[in-house]
Amino acid sequence: MSNQKVCLVIGAGDATGGAVAKRFAREGFTVCVTRRTLDKLQPLLDQIHHAGGVAHGFASDARKEDEVISLVEHIESNVGPIAVLVFNIGANSPNSILTETARRYTKMWEMACLAGFLNGREVAKRMVTRVYGSDRSTNGISPIGTIIFTGATASLRGSANFAGFSGGKMALRGLAQSMARELGPMGIHVAHTIIDGAIDTEFIRTLFPERYALKDQGGILNPDHIADAYWMLHQQPRDAWTHELDLRPYMEKF
């Protein structure tokens, strides 16, 4: 196994996840990125390689425990120690509570929260074991890793037609808080970001053209600027860690 530090991005899509992967690759990290289908990762991998970075792509369903365990074990054994985990799965699928189904609701919770638990647990176990071995009773002296969970407006409030999404994202926020309190003394920085606003994506450009028209006014979030904030979180000293960071365009309502 290489000693090269690894940044693992779960849910490296065309916006935030991909931008975070490119940002950490630019800083010298070996980047491991996942989506459910490998072919969708190829453009991102090509961009990172073209810029001189190192990246590996993996097809993985973040909701399935056996796949998560296998993924983390493979990276730790064959690529390098995971120093940063960014969990970036969305799960946004609005629907009226009057027509919502148990299957859809459960799937959104699995994507938004259960997957965060599985990936966060497996990476945290490796981070802690590298420093303490089997003895975890002694507090860490310096930071040993960073885990960042991507949240949304729904992490704070449940809007109409977003019962499933807000339920999953609020649960993810609680998970992040619990992990931060337990793992912080061991040297693991756990942060939760609230991305409050539309992001510059094809989805917004196509389905919400009136919102996308605000781009030139700084009215939607630039994924590269979100990635800069994630890099800042990883760089923070232990005596001034941010647990929760909200990012929104200046015109977005609180």
pLDDT digits over 127-173, tens only?
999 876 655 544 445 678 999 999 999 999 999 999 999 999 999 99
Tokens of 50: 């073209």
pLDDT digits over 26-49, tens only?
999 999 999 999 999 999 999 999
Looking at the predicted structure, is the pLDDT value of residue 189 above 80? yes
Query: What's this model's pTM, rounded to 2 decimal places?
Result: 0.93
Q: What is the mean pLDDT of the chain?
A: 93
Q: Whole-angstrom Cα distance, residue 89 to residue 136?
A: 30
What is the average pLDDT across 202-210? Answer: 87
| Residues paired with residue 55 on neighbouring β-strands, in sequence order | 31
Q: Do residues 57 and 41 touch, judged by C-beta distance below 8 A?
A: yes
Q: Whole-angstrom Cα distance, residue 125 to residue 134?
A: 10
Q: What φ, ψ does residue 190 adopt, rounded to 5°?
A: -105, 125
Q: What domains are there in the chain, each with its CATH number?
A: 6-247 (3.40.50.720)
Tokens of 43: 């453009």
pLDDT band at 207 (very low <50, low <70, confident <90, very high): confident
Contacts of residue 50, defined as CB under 8 A and 6 or more positions apart, other chains included, come to none
Q: Do residues 143 and 81 touch, judged by C-beta distance below 8 A?
A: no
Q: Whole-angstrom Cα distance, residue 88 to residue 225?
A: 15
Q: Using the 8-state DSSP alphabet, how is residue 97 labeled?
A: T
pLDDT digits over 88-124, tens only?
998 888 899 999 999 999 999 999 999 999 999 999 9
Sign of the C-alpha dihedral, residues 194, 236, 6, 132? negative
What is the average pLDDT across 39-68? Answer: 97
Of 210, 231, 211, the residue nearest 220 (C-alpha): 211
Q: Give the pLDDT confidence score for residue 67 in this predicted structure.
A: 97
Q: Whole-angstrom Cα distance, residue 34 to residue 86?
A: 11
